[in-house]
Structure 1
Amino acid sequence: MVVRYQAAMRGAVVAGCLVGAAAMNGAAAQTLTMASSAPITSVDPHYHTFTPNASLDAHLFDSLLDMDAQSRPVAALAESWKLVDERTWELKLRQGVKFHNGAAFTAEDVAYTLDRVPRVPNSPGSFAIYTKPIVGVEIVDPHTIRLRTAGIYPLVPIDLTQVAIIPHGLGKDPATEDFNSGKNAIGTGPFRFVSYKPGDRVEMDRFDGYWGKKPYWQHVSFRIIPNDGARTAALLSGDIGFIEAVPTTDAARLRTDKRVHLAETVSLRIIFLTLDQSRDGPTPFITGPNGEKLDRNPLKDHRVREALSIAINRPAIVERVMEGAAIPAGQFLPPGSYSYAPDLPPPAYDAARAKKLLAEAGFPNGFRITLHGPNDRYVNDAKIIQSIGQMWTRIGVQTSVEGITWSNYIARANKQEFSAYLLGWGSSSGEASNPLRSLVATFDAAKGRGAVNRGRYSNPQLDALIDKAVTTADDAAREKVLQQATKLAMDDVAFIPLHNQKNIWGMRSDLTYIARADEQSRAQDVRPVQ
């Protein structure tokens, strides 16, 4: 995200200079202009599991539990939580909390929210995965609620970090459109909604009735600036104070520029390729080596998927394309994360074996494929798919590359229109059950499983391991099952992992920010250096 701050008197800001100390310490209102590096898809916090949306939501709404910078759960609207028995979680809710409209927060709002989440129409990435395990809700008193699960389910606190609470006074089935207009955009967060212009910005004012630590900024303009060069130029010109997704081409010189400093950490975001496994017959963007129609989908063959994976030189992409702002990946999470499998390294580059596997699969002369990807969403996304296209072509898979603007791209990806395409996923829970349930579990809308499994990969053995993991109460035992499930998914090439991004924020030298593993940029955490 990008941040610009200024004193109320605009003349106090000059290009390339910091806001004057008098304005910083004065009583005049402070404005923070923030710009996401990718457009949000809705102000509705239950519409789409999408990181830019989550960053915005964190300003307007609260969840029962939040995640700290290292993606560990901490108290939020719930002050405490405990298991009453193996199927019942009891949460004590924070008292004295108000919604932006003045209504008091109570257990009734929690019950209302949990009921609404799985029923949001036309969601391109449902939050139902986080609420489906809860089969019963009991309001004990206005500030105590019990949540019942069908069996042992230790992930309830983790899942609740992803569910923003809204007031029950919004009525039955509040419409997503009414969140976007501001009518329903009512939370308990540190900022309150002012206006939303799709594709451009969201305006917010500080909520002085906020229950937690008050933000420094009285007004926030959440801007959308997808262009990397524009973000860096705005920072260096003095028009912007804080930017997310510092372009890798600019990071080295910004590290030596005394006007700015960087905050960096390895991200929980995995960049990967999704492969169409929904079709047994022809897949839309693959033909034979001479352009002839095929009667089967090559991507359904494990040998083809493995060939495409090991034809990718991950270290080369990290070094040359990402300029060191990533680490090669062979699984969902980076080293050091809970449920990271230490015996699962990134697939080694082996073009000769890739050619052999293609021949064994019946494609000795390869085939033609179009690799799709966004050109304005992930760090260096267009360059990444270009590099992979060249690598695939070297093993006989003649690859055309097509980069598409994100808004059009994701709409088509959600309809399973592509054969092979680049995506990213931030594991917001900080452990592997989140990507396992979302990315590779068999798609099942009723269960909230596979919500963003766009390739429609399906493996009953993997589904069984996921079910076992999320019902294993002991943390150490659950980690082993999650590692086992991760290894199965990667060995079967459920998708092709590429790298974990590094999160890099750039800011003026008088601003401070703690780098977050979950990639979120929050105005309430941007503060002047004391």
Structure 2
Amino acid sequence: MHKQTLLACLLTTCLFAGSAHAQPLRIALGSEPTAIDPHYHDLTPNNALTAHIFEGLTRQDEKQKLHPALATSWENDGKNTWTFKLREGVTFSDGSPFTADDVVFTFCRTLKNETAIAGSFADITGNFESVTTPDAHTVVIATKAPEPLLPTFLGTVGILSSSIVKHDKLSFDIGKNCGVTGTWPVVGDFNDGKLAIGTGPYKLKSYTRGSAIDLDRNDKYWGDAEPWESVRFLPVPNAAPRLAGLLAGDYDVIENPAARDLARIKDDKRFGYVITPTTRVIYYQLDVGRAQSPFVKAADGKNPLQDVRVRQAMSLAIDRKAIVARLMDGAAEPAYQFLPTGMFGTLPNPPELRYDPAEAKKLLAEAGYANGFQLTLSTTNDRYINDSQITQAVAQYLTQVGIKADVDAMTRAIYFPRRSKKELSVALGGWGSTSGEASSFLRQWPATPNKEGTVGGSNYGGYSNPAFDKLILEAISTLDDAKRSSLLQQAQTEMMKDFAFIPLHFESAVWAHKANLTYTGRSDQFTLAMSVKPVK
């Protein structure tokens, strides 16, 4: 080929490739993030979005294996003290340098965050006895109780720039406001972009609730540059329009297309998809702590949910295998515990949670509710895969055994604050283990809340079992892996006997995309632009 012709071809190819990457990467989300603030709500869509802008000291890969991030190494003294060495040469998107002061400020802010939902992330930093900085790139954390998973947990705490507030010398002294002299930031300060300053691969361009979230590539990022100059996230809560948008070319990647619709793209060379098993368990949390519950009505005036026979009957009334087959189209697994079997601290052979409506009716009669009672199942309709449809199905199962069940489905922006205020009686939940071990669910949901806020942060149903608490508190402070695993298994066995939480199934995550892209599915269900690469 003539040199000039070859040069022209190469230039054309480069220009085409450049223009392709200059176009926004368009990702349709099934569940819209509720804030840009990385500490607002410990919620998967929020954490996935903020991971583009903010980084933790560590990070997890697609299989939840731990890696260095803003910390390059860490070590424990065998007891309560961890030393983290910070990455040098890192700057925030506004050009300010990243130092140990930013880490101290961030930890303080999680404990000074008035707009956080359910004390998000304070359960981690609430266990800190002290945080010291021997130099600009070293952070030493002493915990009140031993915390074997601290490096993992710190991957979830997005580091803020201390430059976003007025302050004197910063220190981890909550009583003295940590040295901050200005106003502590609130969620709105991040949503409008004013304080959305991070070290991550992208920076916020605009956030319009219900419309779109636009990110630009952070050219000051310390790591490898991302191929996409800009990314647009679009909330599309209904699966059918998400798939239609992909087929029409409006989106490049979509999350959670309905499994039944994958046949439409299976043999279409224009598209690809990936299905990834996850740790997310879908379950119900029951109000067992109050003699009167707002959405339960029984002839005797009591709260039937306080009777373990009633709670067990509710579990027996649910056909988990039918839900997986018919509603989830096989893209899920029935759950008989709160983390998939085989993961750290799980029961190796958990007893199957049977579908037995006859036994359910028998237990209800024994509890004095042969004629049933009324209750309302509360659920999101825009957070988990088929969340409201699942709750409708469960309501029908309960009705078949004599419990007249209604459904109250609402957007998660309304649902989560109501649940955290304990306004519900039977609440749908979904929990993905960020640590990959059974303690993640057990310490957060069924544990009796302590004054430090380090356990039981999501115990909205008032469950309290001293035998379980003793086991879980010992487990989470045990550094020996074998002993901790045994304690977690014992704790889960003890908690499961009470049926205050009724597991349904484990979700599988599905992503579909254009064929000129690849997507790496993640077990934590994070939808990340960093997981999207152009086909070489």
TM (norm. structure 1) is 0.92
1:230 aligns with 2:230: no
Alignment-derived partner of residue 167 in structure 1: 161
1:480 aligns with 2:486: yes
Contact (CA 8 Å) 1:371, 1:402: kept in 2 or not? yes
Q: 1:439 aligns with which of 436, 445, 449?
A: 445
SS of match in other structure, 2:26: strand
Contact (CA 8 Å) 2:199, 2:221: kept in 1 or not? yes
Contact (CA 8 Å) 1:35, 1:222: kept in 2 or not? yes
1:148 aligns with 2:142: yes
Question: In structure 1, how many angstroms separate the alpha carbons of the residues matched to 2:343 and 2:243?
Answer: 31
Q: 1:131 aligns with which of 122, 125, 143?
A: 125
Question: In structure 2, how many angstroms separate the alpha carbons of the residues matched to 1:221 and 1:363?
Answer: 53
1:329-381 superposed Cα distances (whole Å, 9 cap, x missing partner): 01111133222211214411111111111111111111122222122221111
Q: Which moved more, 1:25-34 or 1:331-340?
A: 25-34
1:209-233 superposed Cα distances (whole Å, 9 cap, x missing partner): 1111211100111221112111111
Alignment-mate amino acid for residue 208 of structure 2? K
Alignment-mate amino acid for residue 71 of structure 1? Q
Measured at CA, do residues 340 and 254 of structure 1 come closer, stay the same or move farther in structure 2, by a change above 3 Å? farther
Q: 2:52 aligns with which of 51, 55, 59?
A: 59
1:94-153 superposed Cα distances (whole Å, 9 cap, x missing partner): 010000111111111111111111221132231111212221111011111111112432
1:362-414 superposed Cα distances (whole Å, 9 cap, x missing partner): 11111122222122221111221111111111111122223222222223222
Q: 1:99-498 counterparts in 2 under 5 A?
A: 99-125=92-118, 126-171=120-165, 172=180, 173-280=184-291, 282-288=292-298, 292=299, 294-444=300-450, 446-498=452-504
Contact (CA 8 Å) 2:71, 2:85: kept in 1 or not? yes
Q: Which 5+ residue runs of structure 1 have no aligned equivalent?
A: 1-19
Question: In structure 2, how many angstroms separate the alpha carbons of the residues matched to 1:85 and 1:374?
Answer: 43
SS of match in other structure, 2:16: helix
Alignment-derived partner of residue 35 in structure 1: 28
Q: Which 5+ residue runs of structure 2 have no aligned equivalent?
A: 1-12, 166-179
What is the aligned length?
Answer: 506
How far has the Cα of 1:21 moved from its partner?
Answer: 9.0
Contact (CA 8 Å) 2:341, 2:349: kept in 1 or not? no
Question: In structure 2, how many angstroms separate the alpha carbons of the residues matched to 1:222 and 1:397?
Answer: 41
1:93 aligns with 2:50: no
Question: In structure 1, how many angstroms separate the alpha carbons of the residues matched to 2:342 and 2:275?
Answer: 16
How far has the Cα of 1:296 moved from its partner?
Answer: 1.5
Contact (CA 8 Å) 2:100, 2:137: kept in 1 or not? yes
Measured at CA, do residues 211 and 315 of structure 1 come closer, stay the same or move farther in structure 2, by a change above 3 Å? same
SS of match in other structure, 2:77: strand
Contact (CA 8 Å) 2:38, 2:47: kept in 1 or not? yes
Question: In structure 2, how many angstroms separate the alpha carbons of the residues matched to 1:23 and 1:453?
Answer: 54
Alignment-mate amino acid for residue 367 of structure 1? F
Contact (CA 8 Å) 1:310, 1:347: kept in 2 or not? yes
How far has the Cα of 1:254 moved from its partner?
Answer: 2.7
Identity of aligned residues (%): 43
How far has the Cα of 1:26 moved from its partner?
Answer: 5.1
Alignment-mate amino acid for residue 27 of structure 2? M
Question: In structure 1, how many angstroms separate the alpha carbons of the residues matched to 2:396 and 2:70?
Answer: 50
Provide the aligned C-alpha RMSD in A: 1.7
Question: In structure 1, how many angstroms separate the alpha carbons of the residues matched to 2:137 and 2:25?
Answer: 34
Measured at CA, do residues 118 and 460 of structure 1 come closer, stay the same or move farther in structure 2, by a change above 3 Å? farther
SS of match in other structure, 2:283: strand
Contact (CA 8 Å) 1:445, 1:451: kept in 2 or not? no
Alignment-mate amino acid for residue 163 of structure 1? V
